[in-house]
């Protein structure tokens, strides 16, 4: 606040000002003002301070709730509501600070900030409070401890401060400059010159810094350069106060009169969109303070120095009925502040009293305040006093904690000599991963202990330091690392290394040399990537899912079909399942089953991934079955049991469903039979199989039969006995599925030991089969293995590594018996000679299932574990991608894809590689299904559709949908631009060498998509301008770059054309499938966030058309100014403007390059472009009268239509 023009007696506070106070008790004193106030010893009694009692609070109307004395007789100079806690801070003219807790204004802390100068501004931070005095900036904890004390030059006269971000502060005053202070280093980082000296008030919005000057002017400055963008000459005398809200700026001040300065009763109001003044607002009080209080409307609170307060609209008329009176103890009000919640107002007067006005009996100062920490009660007061004059008084009256350690006072002097502490040994992992640059080593933080903290152990540290076990390996031959990690390198968790260019320079080809597409792992809940790959490589599932399309917004079958289409189009480039996982996160059942992981749990590997992926497997099959059912109303999800009714069966049901009979036999003899179906089976292991260390040998087929035809004893209701009875429940198979899905349920060491033991039995039996025996401790020589592989053994013996840790068969044979029984046995290729071809036996109820995929849980303590899949990729996939016909096993580890030997797919070293899910498919499965894919997306998706927004009207329409005669054809041009919002902020860390490393990129979501016509009479007119509704929390609307404002994506209040992501996605998919060419700027990122795979020959990106190799990319704004003489993106980005500009740039490119026939002449044009850009530092000159494609005749015709 500027004090010029106020009562001259307050310009400099002096004690004589209050000499008239008569120490006489006043009967009207409010006792609540006492509040532990210590009076001056000379005795100014509290009764000398007449404070009106608090009034009854009426909801919605501001009334006085409490009054309290901060410091008797000393004027309050500043008040501030804490932005983090429920506290009110008050500073006095004597340099004293006091804080009050809660609406009851209970005194929390009180301390001296400056011995001579008044406190001029207070700003709350997370860890403390900033106090600004004349030439001093002090940062103190809320309890009064000094964090830092920054002294300014003695010639400085500071009045205002502005916190621009969490660590940067601007300070202004009566001098001709503004200082920028870095709160982390407590140093001055910048000094901005001010043309008009005397900055006493500063405000900030997302567009400008606002500086109020003593001369009566308000200047608007650029957020980045601090240059003056605009200036309002508000008052001829001086400025008292101003505030900014939305597009309005309101100011009050003093005008020059013949007799001096006089308070101006007209508030000056300015429209920040047109940068001009609107009708001044006449008020009925002398305005000294003003604040916007935007609750229901953008109303203003205007306060006079005598205590009158008036509320009015900035663009309306002031009503005298809206005036209320604050009754100060002293003659004048000195300060005014509004809480962040707008529920409380604070006034400070010239007698040191603080008045709290609220609109409810129990207000809160902030929407979300953290809990305030209070001082612990003093324990000394509770202890009995000791009289030291009594020799016999027992000292045990004062309790001392019992300790068995030697006390410090018992140490002899010889042992008290200081000795240096030995440095602890460096972590072996740091030495292993360290890279040397000169004589300095750099290594990632292994995160094995707290940062900057080393446990202090006396004896243990010495022994550890001297131990030979701490000596690390030589850096030579680190690739294998056999003694540090059992996990093979290709099975370890893969991460993307982000650079300044994001993913553009990351070499995915190093991890995937095939033409199949991997999946990126950085998206939340991407642990299911391996299962998505398994479903994709099931040919009937891939085709049938892509033929599905429905009207449901979050349909997992639709989203999975879109993702499969991207995997089909990709030629080795990784895809991401962001849209599928977005729909997955909205399914309530997924959350109920615990399938949606928090980012922290996913990063740290806290969740049991094996159990998680098995639950996900059961969930996805059931959900896809429901989404694809032919019934109009899909059935409700039946939970983790996996059973469903077979009526209205879907194609997923036809593939995975197994029809069963569940029989319950009571001991009374009554039997109940119930038909049901299941989509998968869970392995049930033999009881007591690990009680004997030698164990019992089981075939996998035996355990599988036991799990399918499960028999168990349980308590069940018997209708005959009319009570719960022990019953025997058995399960008989009526129809076998085409795809047999098995959850392994290896969730404890018991099941892991069972797999390990059976693998050892299988290994010994294989050795016997090849004509020899092997003991546990015997290793075979090369000659022995050659003998075992001789022709006499009938089969060629594989290597010993291929035989270890294998219990799972590649094929199993199932036969339905006449008495509803089931025979299961392991099947090998040699058995086909004995039993005949599998297809001939299918007629007799005999089926052969081949192993198609295994999903395994990798146990790695360093990364928290991961999930990978071994998949046998069929002939049709190789034919489409590589033009060859063969089958091959591959390892899929997110975006790492590598061919492997088939034995590796069934080898499970239970120390680090644990089986989770198995997929067996019937032999010759593809011949039973129609594998033709018919694109279900039709041209009707481009026609007009209703908006989700309730307030959207025709007058707000910014596009004209395509007519039937305008449907795009192959090769047509379409201008495209998209705007995005941020769902999760970027996670990065600063390395020890000062470089920034991105751990996890920010998660973006598309918010607006615009397509404009690229040819024809309506060229440049949009036919798609969709705002995308989102149900996820947006952390940053990026309004400066996207033009998206809070509320634009909310169907309840938005005035935009709001649609679902799926609806707009279908429009873009149709355009891609029809073969149009997209023109835009930076389309690679747009398509990536939208989650679309577009063939490269259908993308015309101006960022690459106007780019020279090994040079920087050029912004659309600079290209438009240089080539088209257009000045775009002035205040914010607009996708219609950007898409139309990209089309014009493409036309300009064709003109300059003669349709690409004269590259040499175009190269000269680009050289001139880069030379001009370097001279201008790639900045567009400031426009005098900004022109934009929006103002063109084409856009006017859009609005007219």
Contact 326, 281 (CB under 8 A): no
- Lowest-pLDDT range, 120-124, 798-802, 1029-1033, 1146-1150? 798-802
- Lowest-pLDDT range, 196-200, 410-414, 742-746? 410-414
pLDDT in tens, 164-187: 988 899 999 999 999 999 998 999
- Lowest-pLDDT range, 278-282, 603-607, 685-689, 1055-1059? 603-607
Residue 964's pLDDT is what?
A: 84
Q: Which residues of 731-762 are buried (b: 16+ CB within 10 A; e: fewer)?
A: bbbeebbbbbbbbbbbeeeebbbbbbbbbbbb
- Lowest-pLDDT range, 440-449, 618-627, 894-903? 440-449
- CA atoms of 608 and 963, how far apart (whole Å): 54
- Lowest-pLDDT range, 172-181, 194-203, 800-809? 800-809
In a 13 Å sphere around the CA of 346, the CA atoms on its Cβ side amount to 34
Per-residue pLDDT averaged across 919-925, rounded? Answer: 91
Separate counts of helices (H) and strands (E) for the chain: 25, 54
pLDDT in tens, 971-1003: 999 999 999 998 888 777 776 666 766 777 778
pTM above 0.85, yes or no: no
- State the pLDDT confidence band at 798, using cuts at 50, 70 and 90: low
1138 to each of 80, 396, 563, 654, how far by Cα in Å? Answer: 44, 83, 28, 49
Q: What percent of the chain has pLDDT over 70?
A: 80
Per-residue pLDDT averaged across 1184-1190, rounded? Answer: 43
590 to each of 276, 535, 615, how far by Cα in Å? Answer: 54, 18, 9
- State the pLDDT confidence band at 464, using cuts at 50, 70 and 90: very low
Decide if pLDDT at 622 tops 60: yes
- State the pLDDT confidence band at 4, using cuts at 50, 70 and 90: very low
Decide if pLDDT at 474 tops 60: no
Residue 829's pLDDT is what?
A: 65
In a 13 Å sphere around the CA of 517, the CA atoms on its Cβ side amount to 22
Decide if pLDDT at 724 tops 60: yes
- State the pLDDT confidence band at 131, using cuts at 50, 70 and 90: very high
Decide if pLDDT at 462 tops 70: no
Beta bridge partners of 1013: 974
pLDDT in tens, 481-506: 443 457 888 888 888 876 655 666 67
Range of 308-322, 585-599, 608-622, 1173-1187 with top mean pLDDT:
608-622
pLDDT in tens, 233-290: 999 999 999 999 989 999 999 998 888 889 999 999 999 999 999 999 989 899 999 9
- CA atoms of 134 and 149, how far apart (whole Å): 13
What is 261-329 written as a DSSP string?
EEE-SEEEEEETTTTEE---EE-SS-EEEEEEEESSSEEEEEEETTSEEEEE-TTS---GGGEEE---S
pLDDT in tens, 345-385: 999 999 999 999 998 888 999 998 999 988 877 666 667 77
Considering only residues 801 and 562, tell me which one the structure prediction assigns the higher pLDDT: 562
Per-residue pLDDT averaged across 424-448, rounded? Answer: 82
Per-residue pLDDT averaged across 527-532, rounded? Answer: 92
Q: Where are the alpha helices (DSSP H) in 547-685?
A: 556-569, 578-586, 588-592, 599-604, 609-627, 651-656
- State the pLDDT confidence band at 1185, using cuts at 50, 70 and 90: very low
- State the pLDDT confidence band at 299, using cuts at 50, 70 and 90: confident
Residue 489's pLDDT is what?
A: 86
Per-residue pLDDT averaged across 384-407, rounded? Answer: 76
In a 13 Å sphere around the CA of 1116, the CA atoms on its Cβ side amount to 25
Residue 27's pLDDT is what?
A: 40
Q: Beta-carbon neighbour count of residue 276 at 10 Å?
A: 10
Residue 155's pLDDT is what?
A: 84
Considering only residues 29 and 137, tell me which one the structure prediction assigns the higher pLDDT: 137
Per-residue pLDDT averaged across 846-859, rounded? Answer: 92
Contact 52, 74 (CB under 8 A): no
DSSP reduced 3-state for 104: coil
Q: Where are the alpha helices (DSSP H) in 645-724?
A: 651-656, 700-708
**Mean pLDDT of the chain, nearest integer:** 80
DSSP run (H or E) holding 160 = strand 158-165
Decide if pLDDT at 884 tops 70: yes
Residue 846's pLDDT is what?
A: 86
Considering only residues 1165 and 771, tell me which one the structure prediction assigns the higher pLDDT: 1165
Range of 247-256, 687-696, 940-949 with top mean pLDDT:
247-256
């Amino acid at each position: 606040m500027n004090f010029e023009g106020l009562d001259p007696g307050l310009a400099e506070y002096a004690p004589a000002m209050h000499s008239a106070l008569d120490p006489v008790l006043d009967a009207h004193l409010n006792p609540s003002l006492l509040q532990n106030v210590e009076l001056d010893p000379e005795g100014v009694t509290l009764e000398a301070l007449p404070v009106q009692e608090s009034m009854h609070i009426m909801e919605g109307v501001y009334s006085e709730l409490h009054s309290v004395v901060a410091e008797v007789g000393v004027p309050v100079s500043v008040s501030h509501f804490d932005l983090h806690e429920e506290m009110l801070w008050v500073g006095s003219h004597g340099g004293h600070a006091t804080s009050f807790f809660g609406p009851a204004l209970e005194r929390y802390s009180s301390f001296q900030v400056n011995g001579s100068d008044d406190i001029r501004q207070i700003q709350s931070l997370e860890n403390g409070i900033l106090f600004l005095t004349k030439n001093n900036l002090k940062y103190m904890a809320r309890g009064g401890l000094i964090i830092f004390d920054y002294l300014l030059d003695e010639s400085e006269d500071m009045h205002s401060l502005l916190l621009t971000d969490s660590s940067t502060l601007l300070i202004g005053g009566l001098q001709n400059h503004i200082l920028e202070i870095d709160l982390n280093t407590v140093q001055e980082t910048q000094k901005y010159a001010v043309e008009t000296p005397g900055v006493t008030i500063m405000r900030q919005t997302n567009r400008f810094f606002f500086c109020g000057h003593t001369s009566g002017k308000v200047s608007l400055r650029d957020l980045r350069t601090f240059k003056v963008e605009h200036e309002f000459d508000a008052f001829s005398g001086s400025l008292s106060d101003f505030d900014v809200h939305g597009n309005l700026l309101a100011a009050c001040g003093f005008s020059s009169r013949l007799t001096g300065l006089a308070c101006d009763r007209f508030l000056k109001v300015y429209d920040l969109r047109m940068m001009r003044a609107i009708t001044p607002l006449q008020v009925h009080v002398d305005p000294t303070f003003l604040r916007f209080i935007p609750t229901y409307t953008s109303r203003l609170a205007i306060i006079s120095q005598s205590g009158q307060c008036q509320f009015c609209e900035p663009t309306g008329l002031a009503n005298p009925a809206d005036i209320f009176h604050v009754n100060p103890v002293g003659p004048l009000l000195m300060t005014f502040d509004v809480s962040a919640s707008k529920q409380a107002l604070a006034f400070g007067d010239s007698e040191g009293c603080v008045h709290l006005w609220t609109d409810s009996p129990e207000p809160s100062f902030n929407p979300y305040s953290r809990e305030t920490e209070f001082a612990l009660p003093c324990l000394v007061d509770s202890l009995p006093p000791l009289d030291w004059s009594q020799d016999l008084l027992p000292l045990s009256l004062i309790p001392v904690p019992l300790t068995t350690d030697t006390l410090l006072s018992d140490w002899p002097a010889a042992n008290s000599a200081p000795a240096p502490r030995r440095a602890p040994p460096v972590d072996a992992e740091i030495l292993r991963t360290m890279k040397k640059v000169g004589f300095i080593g750099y290594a990632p933080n292994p995160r094995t202990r707290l940062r900057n903290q080393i446990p202090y152990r006396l004896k243990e540290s010495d022994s550890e330091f001297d131990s030979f076990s701490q000596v690390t390996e030589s850096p030579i031959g680190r690739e294998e690392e056999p003694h540090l990690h059992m996990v093979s390198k290709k099975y370890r968790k893969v991460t993307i290394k982000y650079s300044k260019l994001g993913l553009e320079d990351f070499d995915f080809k190093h991890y995937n040399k095939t033409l199949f597409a991997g999946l990126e792992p950085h998206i939340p809940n991407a642990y299911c990537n391996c299962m998505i790959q398994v479903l994709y490589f099931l040919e009937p599932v891939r085709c049938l899912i892509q033929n599905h399309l429905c009207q449901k917004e979050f349909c997992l079958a639709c989203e999975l079909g879109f993702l499969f289409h991207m995997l089909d189009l990709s030629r080795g480039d990784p895809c991401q399942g962001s849209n599928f996982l977005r729909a997955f996160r909205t399914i309530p059942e997924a959350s109920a089953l615990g399938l949606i992981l928090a980012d922290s749990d996913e990063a740290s590997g806290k969740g049991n991934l094996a159990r998680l992926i098995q639950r996900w497997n059961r969930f996805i099959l059931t959900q896809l079955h429901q989404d694809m059912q032919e019934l109009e109303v899909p059935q409700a999800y039946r939970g983790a049991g996996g059973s469903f009714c077979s009526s209205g069966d879907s194609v997923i049901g036809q593939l995975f469903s197994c029809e069963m009979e569940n029989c319950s036999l009571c001991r009374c003899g009554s039997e109940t039979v119930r038909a049901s179906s299941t989509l998968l089976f869970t392995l049930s292991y033999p009881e007591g199989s690990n009680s004997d260390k030698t164990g019992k040998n089981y075939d996998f087929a035996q355990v599988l039969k036991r799990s399918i035809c499960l028999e168990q004893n349980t308590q069940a209701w018997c209708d005959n006995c009319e009570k719960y009875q022990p019953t025997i429940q058995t399960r008989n198979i009526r129809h076998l599925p085409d795809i047999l899905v098995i959850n392994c349920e290896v969730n404890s060491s018991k099941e892991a030991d069972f797999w390990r033991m059976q693998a050892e039995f299988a290994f010994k039996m294989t050795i016997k089969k090849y004509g020899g025996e092997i003991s546990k401790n015997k290793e075979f020589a090369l000659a022995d293995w050659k003998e075992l592989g001789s022709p006499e053994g009938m089969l060629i013996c594989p290597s010993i590594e291929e035989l270890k840790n294998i219990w799972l068969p590649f094929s199993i044979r199932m036969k339905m018996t006449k008495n509803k029984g089931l025979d299961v046995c392991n099947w090998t290729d040699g058995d086909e000679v004995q039993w005949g071809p599998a297809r001939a036996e299918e007629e007799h109820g005999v089926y052969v299932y081949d192993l198609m995929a295994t999903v395994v849980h990798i146990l790695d303590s360093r990364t928290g574990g991961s999930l990978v899949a071994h998949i046998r990729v069929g002939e049709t996939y190789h034919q489409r991608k590589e033009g060859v016909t063969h089958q091959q096993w591959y390892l899929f580890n997110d975006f790492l894809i590598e061919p492997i030997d088939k034995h590796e797919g069934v080898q499970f070293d239970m120390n680090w590689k644990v089986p989770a899910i198995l997929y067996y498919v019937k032999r010759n499965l593809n011949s039973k299904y129609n594998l033709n894919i018919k694109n279900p997306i039709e041209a009707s998706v481009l026609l007009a559709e209703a908006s989700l927004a309730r307030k959207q009207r025709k007058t707000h329409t910014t596009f004209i949908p395509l007519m039937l005669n305008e449907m795009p054809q192959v090769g047509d041009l379409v201008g495209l631009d998209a705007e995005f919002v941020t769902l999760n902020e970027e996670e990065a860390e600063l390395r020890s060498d000062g470089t920034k490393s991105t751990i996890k990129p920010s998660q973006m979501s598309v918010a607006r998509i615009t397509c404009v016509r690229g040819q024809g009479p309506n060229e440049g007119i949009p036919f798609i301008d969709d705002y995308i509704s989102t149900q996820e929390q947006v952390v940053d609307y990026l309004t400066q770059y996207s033009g998206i404002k809070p509320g634009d994506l909310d169907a309840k209040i938005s005035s935009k054309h709001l649609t679902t992501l799926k609806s707009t996605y279908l429009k873009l998919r149709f355009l891609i499938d029809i073969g149009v060419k997209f023109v835009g700027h930076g389309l690679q990122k747009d398509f990536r966030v939208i989650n679309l795979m577009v063939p490269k020959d259908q993308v015309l990106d101006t960022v690459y058309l106007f780019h020279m190799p090994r040079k920087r990319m050029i912004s659309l704004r600079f290209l438009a100014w240089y080539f088209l003489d257009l000045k775009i993106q002035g205040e914010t980005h607009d996708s219609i403007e950007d898409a139309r500009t990209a089309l014009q740039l493409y036309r300009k490119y064709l003109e300059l390059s003669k349709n690409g026939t004269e590259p040499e002449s175009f190269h000269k044009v680009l050289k001139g472009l880069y030379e001009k850009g370097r001279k201008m530092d790639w900045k567009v000159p400031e426009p005098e009268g900004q022109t934009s494609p929006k103002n063109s005749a084409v856009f006017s015709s859009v609005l007219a239509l």
